[in-house]
Structure 1
């Protein structure tokens, strides 16, 4: 229970109309007031550190809420706290003021925050720029334009300079650098790889996560296509066409309840995951059926409603926590400051639309029925997305972070990612309980003292248009080949994994299914229980856990070795969605062998539906089914 549920100002907000969304934004902005510095330029929300300096961190707290504030003001709304940000622009860009943000250096975090600031100038000049006096405007221009001669990372960051220049151009500033903006845009377009997808960097980078969509690239392209249409019509139309194609893949990352599949880094941005849908509306991009305006509206609002209902996403004072469904620093990156979660304010972009826009006048529609119970091969991100059996998840191979990121093996290298069960991250490396090894094949060569999980995936491809196939080389004398096969109509609650292992050393393997809420009805830890009861189940070759969240299980279906089933109680705070989880796992020992070791694994997942508690009736029948290995996979 959330002891503060009755005091949440948005507790009874149905989030159905533009006014409802504006009210929720106000509820997000108001708690920031007591944390704002006297000059308005810095918002200090906590004492945890980042790899960048504290002034930049407090600038982050100031700037990110502007995504929402600027949209509200652009759409004809008002906010009585707007003056805090106007004052902050004056104080933060004044070199003689004690709250000066500091001049930008090469690859400076301050560059990131220029994105929201540039957007605000472009859409809400009258409320955020015009009130400044001439001296403040000159300081502001100088500070914002100061990034034009600095080196930037060769990633989505280049969009931040585009938005800075876009904002400068909209206020008629002489610091606007048209040549620099065009060069940045031309280079960003080299990231495009087709079918609507852009990678987050040059050739060789293979991250295609939410930065390729809502967090950065697709969102930026759509907003640019609206704001720069007159000056750059051909590029703007190209961006809209990319979005039309991308949307057909991206809808697969959302379930009927509004949740997005957690995958990759920066999960603390939460409902920024759905901001692409709002950006489509902002850019007036109509999509082919079944993606009507009512469907787009539902995808956006259901996701925000989901996050309104998560008590752990907010501190008692209403500010956002660092984490996902609850405060969790295990899953963060070294660039997550206390202000970082406010990137979610991108999803308020539809507040910039007039009341007459079809996004707001259309009746909200559910997730398209023709896409339910289907599986889709997503070629560019090397994902297979499915919602067969009522469980929305993806099978994944071929992605990894191109630079060091904490827990990157968990964020990119797992075999499956689920909207209902999320994913887990290690909280240590000494035991399986610490590992958080859901949806991974973990290997140890020191009898379980330490573990390796797939991070650097090689030779990944979609095979026969049906499954994923890839290689992994954890040690010089160990190779692992993996096939991932989505559910079939014959066994709709199972997906299949086939692993071929060749090893020159002793190994212990531990393969996990989906981590699931691990408590009984009374809140105590799950205990062994027979079928039909909340509890755990273990035997040779099988393990299962049943709770109010549904059922998760794993079964061996014919490996060349024996495996023991265990319902592991993972260490607290390893899973992104539930702080106390149980993980069905298969464990085995392997000797060096010149021949292949084959692991054949069936993974079962059935989340509860909506507000219902526990798995749907009849799940036991489905559990007794088992998928078969396709004949095209030769053992």
Structure 2
């Protein structure tokens, strides 16, 4: 399709916002000064050993599809190439045992979480973040990811972290542990609650973890391994049908004003709450009745609404703890400065070229905007 001016404006704003968010992390890692420059805003100091890997894994998890994008316009392409190089330098800085920014991949439990977000980034940008790595960086990366195998995951969404690390190691040419993969897939089948939603463990929670972790990782683990086992292939079809339904639900959560309900834990991940809708857009797996331009318009409204508040960033450009602005009281005990960078996952559709319908379609009202404007909108149906 021919690029639409509204889509071009939105894309430019998305890139500008993404770069504003990730620049401090990637520039600090380029200079191998992340540990020196990033302070811990969290409630407790015991998160300091983990926050650097959090920042790396979560930043790359969101920016990766854009780094992999083919067919960018000239000015954007210059930026993309530059940030892809910064991302590779960041992986080097974080995985080199001799680097002052060498990260903790094995002490405590938290490193498994953020190694998995880093692993997810590798799957999302296999050319830029795997194929183009220098051989010694690739070896260090494999060693770092492999070292997380000593960590026992909690009996909830964490099972997917182990499976995601295995998926990345497999893509890096290593043997994968089929038990870690099988356990995560089968256990989430047991935790499926109906109508496109999974429990976070045996219980259902009213939060955004189906989007922060569960469905994006489950879909992509099965994209990697679905053809390796007949049972996994059958489950993959079920998982995709649920993922499509949950994307529909997520789109309906966007209010006419571009807000969404502040429910559940980890609200400091801000618009990362829409990672799943963003991923389904990237993978062109939206429900048939949702126009890509409609989803872009809704997500753009959310990003603009949150970013219009001035104190989302501190004076040095780092994200602050909060949902919409600086709201430190909503940072749970496990939150650090590095945790906040999961917000970047709303930007996954930047992996689609400007000619894709997601960007090429004009502004289109999303479901709630139509509903509250007295316009036609489709009946909602359970799966």
| 1:165–1:98 Cα change, 3 Å | same
Distance in 2 of aligned mates of 1:48 and 1:300 = 28
Q: In structure 1, which of residues 21, 30, 48 is the aligned counterpart of residue 41 of structure 2? A: 48
Q: Which residue of the partner structure matches residue 89 of structure 1?
A: 91
- TM-score computed with the length of structure 1 as normaliser: 0.52
Aligned ranges for residues 26-425 of structure 1 at < 5 Å?
A: 26-33=19-26, 35-36=28-29, 38-39=31-32, 42=35, 44-49=37-42, 50=44, 52-76=46-70, 77=77, 78-105=80-107, 108-174=109-175, 176-202=176-202, 205-212=203-210, 214-224=211-221, 231=228, 233-289=233-289, 291-368=290-367, 371-372=371-372
Distance in 2 of aligned mates of 1:64 and 1:378 = 33
The number of equivalent residue pairs is: 361
Structure with more relative contact order (C-alpha pairs < 8 Å, separation 6 or more): 2
8 Å CA contact 1:40, 1:84 repeated in 2: no
- Higher CA-based Rg: 1
Shift of 1:319: 2.4
Q: Which residue of the partner structure matches residue 18 of structure 2?
A: 25
8 Å CA contact 1:72, 1:352 repeated in 2: yes
Instruction: Describe the superposition over 1:22-53 as per-residue Cα deviations: whole angstroms up to 9, x where unpaired.
Output: 23322222233564474366574324344644
**Mind listing any 5+ residue stretches in structure 2 that lack a counterpart?**
1-5, 71-76
Shift of 1:79: 4.3
Shift of 1:304: 1.2
Instruction: Describe the superposition over 1:227-248 as per-residue Cα deviations: whole angstroms up to 9, x where unpaired.
Output: 5565554333222210232244
8 Å CA contact 1:249, 1:378 repeated in 2: no
SS of aligned partner of 2:193: strand
Shift of 1:307: 1.9
C-alpha RMSD of matched pairs (Å)? 3.1
| 1:244–1:124 Cα change, 3 Å | closer
| 1:293–1:53 Cα change, 3 Å | closer
Shift of 1:156: 1.4
Distance in 1 of aligned mates of 2:235 and 2:382 = 24
8 Å CA contact 1:258, 1:306 repeated in 2: yes
Distance in 2 of aligned mates of 1:43 and 1:70 = 25
Shift of 1:69: 2.5
- Looking at secondary structure, tell me which structure has more strand per residue: 1
SS of aligned partner of 2:329: coil
**Mind listing any 5+ residue stretches in structure 1 that lack a counterpart?**
1-12, 381-635
Shift of 1:60: 1.4
Distance in 2 of aligned mates of 1:338 and 1:189 = 33
Instruction: Describe the superposition over 1:120-142 as per-residue Cα deviations: whole angstroms up to 9, x where unpaired.
Output: 22232332233434333222212
8 Å CA contact 1:294, 1:363 repeated in 2: yes
Instruction: Describe the superposition over 1:171-217 as per-residue Cα deviations: whole angstroms up to 9, x where unpaired.
Output: 2124x323322222222222211110111112xx23131112x2122
SS of aligned partner of 2:50: helix
Distance in 2 of aligned mates of 1:121 and 1:42 = 23
Q: Which residue of the partner structure matches residue 397 of structure 1?
A: none
Distance in 2 of aligned mates of 1:358 and 1:226 = 23
Q: Which residue of the partner structure matches residue 394 of structure 1?
A: none
